[in-house]
């Protein structure tokens, strides 16, 4: 296990440096010989052999080669008085604050095949003072805090397949500013809850201006136009629509179910608050929804397939759902849904009449 202050070498690049921060189980920040901090996976570094040898042979009589090696070492972080900073990038006209949370998979075609990196993207000429936390079990747990320069992105951490199955909510507090500005900006608070099913669908990841690979983006702040539209009441919207469009007779609306019906059985999709509910209570709600949707699909002439998204979890919901399909609905065949679209967390039922 690495510790702050350890001297390490890069396995896939020349050089190395000193660990200045532990981000998580799989990532650290390393300050290289030029004074820049670089986020690095722990699988891509090794301990500096010179330092290890110095510890092992502390009682050994010094040799001329030892003094040569010691002379070649760079000074430790705490001994550096001057640190060279990268120039700040200011893009002309990019003066509207635009901040994003980004998820970049190693393999966009199969996002669960490998790690998914989490980034904070600053697409503006603003400096950001940020606080990043996870929200779970009614608690905000700090993950990182710091400063992000204009028109840059920051690696916050990584997600494994096991992490995706139990995602927390991602929370941010931000103050942002420019060196010169005609006004003061209001602080930003944002909490984002992401349905894990999105990580199972390759279509959730799209090309962007920030990464070479496909990425899933969530905007953290609203533009002035978006804020203005949000402040419009339903009455304002209807009035504007009446003024813009000529009067016409209302058309009867006929609701038809699609051939493929998707039903997400995750609790946060079924009810707003699970406080006070036992595991059995939640399972009863999920199974009630399952039966209602099955009856709805069976009575419809349009639906040919139903996909129930139950996730991985501990397998209780999947087991109960398939037990009932094999008894009460044994007339209808069922199987694992497409891995490409849903991963391992969904069951497809074929509605044959």
The domain ranges of the chain are 7-79, 99-231, 260-350
Q: Which residues pair with 144 in a beta bridge?
A: 132
Q: What is the pLDDT of residues 28-64, one digit of tens each?
A: 888 887 777 888 888 888 887 655 544 445 455 555 4
When pLDDT is cut at 50, 70 and 90, the band that residue 75 belongs to is very low
CATH fold, domain 260-350, is Ribosomal Protein S8; Chain: A, domain 1 (3.30.1370)
**218-238 per-position pLDDT tens digit:** 999 877 666 666 666 656 666
- In this structure, of 54-63, 250-259, 284-293, 322-331, the range with the lowest mean pLDDT score is 54-63
CA pair distance 174, 156, nearest whole angstrom? 15
pLDDT mean across residues, the chain: 81
Distances in Å between the alpha carbon of 314 and those of 68, 303, 307, 317, 328?
58, 30, 19, 8, 23
**Segment holding 128, helix H or strand E:** strand 127-136
Percent of the chain with pLDDT over 70: 79
Class of domain 99-231: mainly beta
- pLDDT at position 243 over 80: no
pTM of the complete model beyond 0.95: no
Smallest CA-to-CA distance from 13 within 32, 27, 29, 28 is with 32
For CA atoms 340, 323, 311, 293, give the dihedral sign.
Answer: positive
Q: Residue 82 above 60 pLDDT?
A: no
Mean pLDDT confidence for 312-339? 88
Q: How far apart are CA 324 and CA 348, in angstroms?
A: 14
Question: 114 with 213: CB under 8 angstroms?
Answer: no
């Amino acid at each position: 296990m690495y510790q702050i202050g350890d001297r390490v070498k890069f396995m896939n690049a020349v050089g190395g440096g000193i660990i200045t921060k532990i981000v998580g189980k799989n990532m650290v920040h390393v300050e290289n010989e030029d004074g820049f901090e670089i986020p690095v996976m722990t699988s891509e570094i090794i301990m500096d052999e010179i330092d290890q040898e110095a510890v092992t042979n502390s009682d050994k009589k010094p040799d001329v080669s030892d003094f040569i090696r010691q002379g070649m070492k760079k000074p430790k972080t705490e001994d550096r008085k001057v640190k060279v900073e990268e120039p700040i990038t200011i893009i002309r006209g990019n003066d509207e604050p635009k901040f994003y949370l980004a998820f970049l998979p190693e393999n966009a075609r199969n996002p669960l095949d490998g790690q998914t990196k989490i980034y904070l993207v600053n697409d503006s000429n603003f400096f950001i003072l940020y606080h990043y936390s996870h929200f779970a079990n009614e608690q905000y747990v700090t993950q990182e805090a710091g400063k992000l320069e204009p028109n840059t992105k920051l690696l916050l951490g990584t997600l494994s397949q096991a992490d995706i199955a139990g995602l927390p909510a991602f929370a941010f507090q931000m103050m942002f500013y420019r060196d010169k500005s005609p006004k003061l900006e209001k602080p930003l608070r944002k909490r984002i809850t992401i349905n894990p099913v999105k990580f199972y669908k390759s279509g959730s990841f799209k090309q962007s201006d920030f990464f070479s690979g496909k990425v899933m983006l969530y905007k953290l702040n609203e533009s002035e136009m978006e804020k203005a539209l949000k402040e419009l009441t339903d009455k304002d919207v209807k009035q504007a629509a009446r003024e813009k469009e000529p009067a016409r007779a209302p058309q009867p609306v006929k609701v038809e179910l699609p051939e493929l019906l998707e039903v997400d059985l995750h609790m946060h999709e079924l009810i707003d608050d699970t406080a006070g509910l036992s595991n059995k209570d939640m399972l009863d709600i999920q199974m009630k929804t399952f039966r209602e949707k099955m009856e709805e699909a069976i009575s419809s002439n349009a639906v040919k397939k139903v996909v129930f998204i139950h996730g991985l979890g501990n397998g209780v919901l999947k087991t109960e759902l398939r037990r009932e399909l094999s008894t009460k609905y044994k007339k209808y065949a069922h199987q694992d849904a497409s891995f490409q679209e849903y991963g391992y967390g969904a069951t497809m039922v074929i509605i044959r009449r």
